[in-house]
Amino acid sequence: MNDSRLRRPSAVRTLRVGEIRVSYVPDGAMLLKPAGSLPATVDRHWSRYGAYLNDTRRLVANTGGLLVEHGTRALLIDAGFGPRAVPEDPDHPDRGAVHGGSLPGNLALLGRSPNDIETVAFTHLHPDHTGWACVDPPLFTRATFVIPKAEWDHCDPMVAALEARTRLVLAGDEIFPGVHAVALPGHTAGHTGFVIASHGVRLLAFGDAMLSPLQIRHPEWSATSDADPARSELHRRRLISELLRPDTLGFGIHFADVVFGRVRSHGRRAAWHPL
């Protein structure tokens, strides 16, 4: 693998899961303070994993969404940060600068308009996942918003404005042909992944259950942004076991320019192998 992919935001990337086409749709990027984001780490870890840090010593994470196409139908999982930018706050424990704005243009590059999206599903309701769903005037004028029920029960007033077009779902529910919700709580109370399956192949979109491929090698490293670190670690370990299955691919929305990959075992540890 080209190490530079670990230090840059992802471009549009597409693959097929059986008869379903999936594409990462970039919106922008988010820079994370490494030790602040993964507080179990110390300097020696970042000496070893320096390949993951950009020239300002930040972890590079994406904001964007996952376009899922089945024939003429289209689903978007997560909706980026939206058309805004926030500079780095030196007092914030983990987050550096973040910006969005590119998602509509990248949808167009993929041959889709916002009006083509019939469903926007959310892994959780943090602002870097709901951005384009909360703009005025609305972008996704025809879409139903699919939100995990446990997440909706804890949402803020801005997201509550989506209620008129919201469908609440539980783990196991099918939200789109071949796409089912799977509970991955810990990052938030209702954090949810989505399994996309077709013709014996699965792709697991796991949201913020992991912010960096390093958490596959070190599942004990929970993020500062995890509401319940112990629960997050428990579900991360279960998630990694699922990703080790030979029929399963993964999608890590924040994984720099290695968003699609497989997990393989390396002795007592596992590792992310980008596609």
What letter does residue 45 receive in the DSSP assignment?
H
Q: Does pLDDT of 195 surpass 90?
A: yes
For residue range 126-147, what is the model confidence (pLDDT) as tens digits?
A: 999 999 999 999 999 999 999 9
Q: Does pLDDT of 247 surpass 90?
A: yes
How many structural domains compose the chain?
1
Percent of the chain at pLDDT above 70? Answer: 98
Minimum mean pLDDT range among 21-25, 31-35, 83-87, 164-168: 164-168
Beta strands 119-121; 144-148: pairing state: parallel
pLDDT band for 1, please (50, 70, 90 cuts). Answer: low
Average pLDDT over residues 210-219: 98
Q: Name the 3-class secondary structure at 20.
A: strand
pLDDT at 161: 73
pLDDT at 163: 79
pLDDT band for 29, please (50, 70, 90 cuts). Answer: very high
CATH of the domain at 82: 3.60.15.10
Q: Does pLDDT of 15 surpass 70?
A: yes
Interatomic CA distance for residues 156 and 140, integer angstroms? 20
Q: Name the 3-class secondary structure at 238.
A: helix
Q: Does pLDDT of 70 surpass 70?
A: yes
Query: Residue 272 in contact with residue 219, Cβ under 8 Å?
Result: no
Q: Does pLDDT of 237 surpass 90?
A: yes
C-alpha dist (Å) from residue 84 to 30, 133, 153, 192, 199: 12, 13, 27, 25, 40
Q: CB count, 10 Å around CB of 201?
A: 16
Q: Does pLDDT of 157 surpass 90?
A: no
Strand partners, 176: 179
For the chain, give the mean pLDDT.
96
Q: Does pLDDT of 52 surpass 80?
A: yes
Average pLDDT over residues 195-208: 99
pLDDT at 162: 81
Q: Encoding tokens for residue 22?
A: 């999936």
* 0.85 surpassed by pTM: yes
Average pLDDT over residues 164-169: 92
Domain of 123?
3-274
Helix residue ranges per DSSP H, 77-205: 103-109, 127-130, 149-152, 157-160
